[in-house]
Amino acid sequence: LTRLLASLCWPPNPPLPSPQPNWFERFRSSSPDHDPKWTDFFNLSKSNFTHLLRFLAPFLHSALHPLPPDVALASTLFRLSHAASFASISRRFSLDAPTACRAFYSVCRAVIENLGHLFELGSDMNRVIAGFGWISLPNCCGVLGVENFDIESSNSGSSSLSVQALVDSEGRFLDISAGWPGNCRPHQILKRSKLFYGIVDSKQHLNGPGFELNKSETIPQYILGDCCYPLLDFLLTPFCKNKGLVGGSSEMGFNRVHKKGMNLLSRAFRNLKKRWKLVGKKWREEEECMEAFPFVIVASCLLHNFVIKCSE
């Protein structure tokens, strides 16, 4: 994203005129602390907007001066929340189009660089495991899957971009790998991802203690995946339905619990696209920078986690 921002040949930032406060400045100065319109406009309460601004302001000060960091953040959250065009953002926030564009991608970069700790695969595994224990998945460390995001380019027409995600029982994203061609199969993406390297090669992940099932058996740490994945030492997939499974069998019981786990993944992506409507709509090359889309998705996933962490 740094290279992308540098490659977009914008002129130096001109001094910003300050005749009248823009819409956001008027709204911020007049709204009470618990005004529900904050959530309507930005998907964050006023207090949590301020909390997020504290994380990002130092970077935004240096990257976007003289544009105020709060205006840059507000315009970005508004655009993500409502799939607003840069022309619409320019009018609402009294910015010229190049400044609105630069602010948006700079905030996305700031989110990725400053909120990466919210991908908690390596930092909060006890919480993750405890959450899955409540749905009868002891020692589970996440649910793995791939979601397609619609794109349209002048070269290939309508197609999609694939994003691999690992989510926890609360719908937080634990790991994201974005930018894969839509025709890549899930198992191909997995084996080329940093997640696979961290589990299989470096042993950085899923290396915790086993869950003692009884005196003679323990369950090692694992993740769930759908039938599009192969069964691996660390990846549990459902039993095949064409093997004549009996309704009351332990295999069918496992499949029911497995399906409940997989539903967490689809719900997380559904909530992501509902909350940040910009990534839920088709990303068109004539309107957007195609190279930036994976970074926008990653930033949206981190903001999704931030919202959950703030209990919104």
Mean pLDDT by 10 residues, the chain (312 residues): 54 51 90 94 97 97 94 98 96 94 97 96 92 96 98 84 98 97 96 97 94 87 96 94 67 93 98 98 90 97 97 78
Looking at residue 133, what is its pLDDT?
Answer: 95
A 10 A CB-CB count for 95 gives: 21
Looking at residue 285, what is its pLDDT?
Answer: 86
Looking at residue 287, what is its pLDDT?
Answer: 85
- What is the spatial distance between Cα 274 and Cα 280, in angstroms, rounded to a whole number? 7
pTM as predicted: 0.91
Name the DSSP class of 215.
Answer: S
Name the DSSP class of 173.
Answer: E
The answer to whether the bond into 294 is cis (omega within 30° of 0) is no
Looking at residue 11, what is its pLDDT?
Answer: 47
250, 251, 256, 261: CA torsion to nearest 10: 110
The answer to whether residues 45 and 312 touch, using CB atoms and an 8 Å cutoff, is yes
- What is the spatial distance between Cα 48 and Cα 58, in angstroms, rounded to a whole number? 17
The beta strands (E) that lie in the chain are given as: 140-153, 157-167, 173-181, 211-212, 218-219, 222-224, 235-236, 283-284
Pair of tokens at residue 235: 């990846």
Looking at residue 181, what is its pLDDT?
Answer: 94
Looking at residue 9, what is its pLDDT?
Answer: 44
Looking at residue 244, what is its pLDDT?
Answer: 60
Q: CA-based angle 285:290:295, to the nearest 5?
A: 145
Beta bridge pairs of residue 218? 212
Looking at residue 7, what is its pLDDT?
Answer: 55
- For the purposes of burial, counting CB atoms within 10 Å of the CB of 310, is it exposed (0-12), middle (13-18) or buried (19 or more)? middle
Q: Tokens 């080329």: give the residue.
A: 192
The answer to whether residues 94 and 22 touch, using CB atoms and an 8 Å cutoff, is yes
